[in-house]
């Protein structure tokens, strides 16, 4: 089979594992259907993150002000506060897309079972960015990351990679 001409190998772009993050979620707040889709707030109730260079906790109070398009794709708009194990505060933001194929939506609608669905069956990608004044983590202010999301019981999780 010939290579897909739309896929390009981009020289110089590689990724390096940054951390795994698990975000515990509050019950969702549904704003209803507006002019561009259905807005739902998935508030952060806490969580943890851990990787080779940093680890710590997700503080309550952030969340995802998600927008569900009519075609079922969720547009992410997330802001979280992370506290590292040495006490530094990191502001983490990301957008992204969470797309569930139509044939999988009924299975994903069951809160008691959706975290058991293999993440390879849906598309859940993010683009985390960071902001901090903590000197030991200022390197995060200048990196772009990509994340691969998946569902966990009572929350969401991501594997986050720094783009080099």
For 56-108, write each residue's pLDDT tens digit.
999 999 999 999 998 889 999 999 999 999 999 999 999 999 998 888 888 88
Residues 9-27 pLDDT 10s: 677 788 999 999 999 999 9
pLDDT, residue 13, reads 84
pLDDT, residue 5, reads 62
Q: Which of 84, 78, 86 is nearest to 62 (CA)?
A: 78
* Contact between 43 and 59 (Cβ < 8 Å): no
* DSSP E strands, the chain: 15-25, 29-34, 37-50, 55-58, 63-68, 74-84, 89-99, 123-126, 129-131, 145-152, 155-163
């Amino acid at each position: 089979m010939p290579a897909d001409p739309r896929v390009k190998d981009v020289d110089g772009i590689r990724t390096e594992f940054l951390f795994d993050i698990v975000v515990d979620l509050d019950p969702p707040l549904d704003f209803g259907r507006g002019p561009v889709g259905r807005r739902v707030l998935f508030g952060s109730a806490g969580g943890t993150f851990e990787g080779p260079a940093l680890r710590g906790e997700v503080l309550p109070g952030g969340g995802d002000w998600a927008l569900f398009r009519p075609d079922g794709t969720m547009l992410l708009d997330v802001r979280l506060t992370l506290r590292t194990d040495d006490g530094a505060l990191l502001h983490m933001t990301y957008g992204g897309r969470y797309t569930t194929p139509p044939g999988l939506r009924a299975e994903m609608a069951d809160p008691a079972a959706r975290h058991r669905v293999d993440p390879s069956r849906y598309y859940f990608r993010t683009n985390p960015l960071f902001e901090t004044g903590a000197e030991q983590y200022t390197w995060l202010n200048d990196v772009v990351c990509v994340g691969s999301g998946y569902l966990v019981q009572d929350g969401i999780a991501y594997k986050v990679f720094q783009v080099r």
